Structure formats: C-alpha cells, structure tokens
C-alpha cells in the first residue's frame, strides 16, 4: 500500500497529483504534505485524484481537514480527475455538495 505525492506551484496555484491508495496507512503522509502546501492565505490548490485507485474514510478525513484549513485562510480547493468510484464516495458522504469537484483533470504536475 503506497501513495505517490507530487506537488508543484504554477501561476499562483498549487497542483497536487496523488497516485495509489489513500488509507489509514498512507493518509498521515498525504495529510502532512498537503497541510504543508496549504499554509498561508489565499492558497489555491488543485488536487488530481485520477491516479487514486482506493480511498477509505481516513482519506476522506484528510480532504476535509485540508478543505477546512484552506477555507479558514480564504483559500480554495478543487478535486479533479475523480473516478466514478471516488465520486460516489464523496456523494454518499455529502462532501460533493460542499467541495469543488470535477471529473476532468486540470493543469498537471
């Protein structure tokens, strides 16, 4: 169970590309890396999930935490490249109604 995290900043937006599984084992690593990138005011973060093949509730918790961190400092978070399976997970939990989600990939790392 591994996860790959690529981060780059371009034109004032932080682009994150996640690949692999986000679960109880990998979530702390993802959270640490994304929280580091989310520091500051007015941060815009675009997270590409097209390479994520599995996510559990721990992974959802990471995105809720990042979302709250960004919103508290006038930032924005967009989740892109979401598979149908991940989209369903966000729909069931109601997070799709709160977060900016797009199935298409934007930008790139």
Domain with residue 27: its CATH number is 3.30.750.24
* Domain count of the fold of the chain: 1
Decide if 107 is inside a domain: no
The three-point CA angle 70-67-4 to 5° equals 100
Instruction: Identify the domain containing residue 27 by its residue range.
Output: 3-102
pTM exceeds 0.85 for this model:
yes
CA 102 vs CA 19, 48, 82, 99: distances in Å:
17, 9, 7, 10
Residue 16 lies in a domain: yes
Is 109 contained in some domain?
no
pLDDT tens across 7-47, in order? 999 988 999 999 999 999 999 999 999 999 999 899 999 99
35 sits in the region (left: phi over 0; alpha: psi -120 to 50; else beta) called alpha
Task: Establish if 74 belongs to a structural domain.
Answer: yes
If one counts every other C-beta atom within 10 angstroms of the C-beta of residue 6, the result is 14
Longest dimension (CA), the chain: 34
| 33: its two tokens | 């890396």
């Amino acid at each position: 169970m591994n996860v790959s995290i690529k981060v780059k900043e371009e034109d004032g937006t932080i682009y994150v590309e996640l690949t692999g599984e986000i679960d109880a084992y990998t979530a702390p690593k993802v959270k640490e890396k994304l929280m580091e990138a989310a520091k500051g005011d007015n941060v815009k973060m675009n997270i590409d999930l097209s390479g994520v093949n599995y996510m559990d509730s721990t992974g959802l918790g990471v995105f809720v935490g990042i979302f709250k961190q960004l919103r508290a400092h006038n930032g924005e978070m967009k989740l892109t490249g979401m598979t149908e399976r991940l989209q369903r997970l966000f729909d069931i939990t109601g997070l799709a109604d709160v977060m900016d989600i797009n199935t298409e990939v934007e930008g790139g790392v």
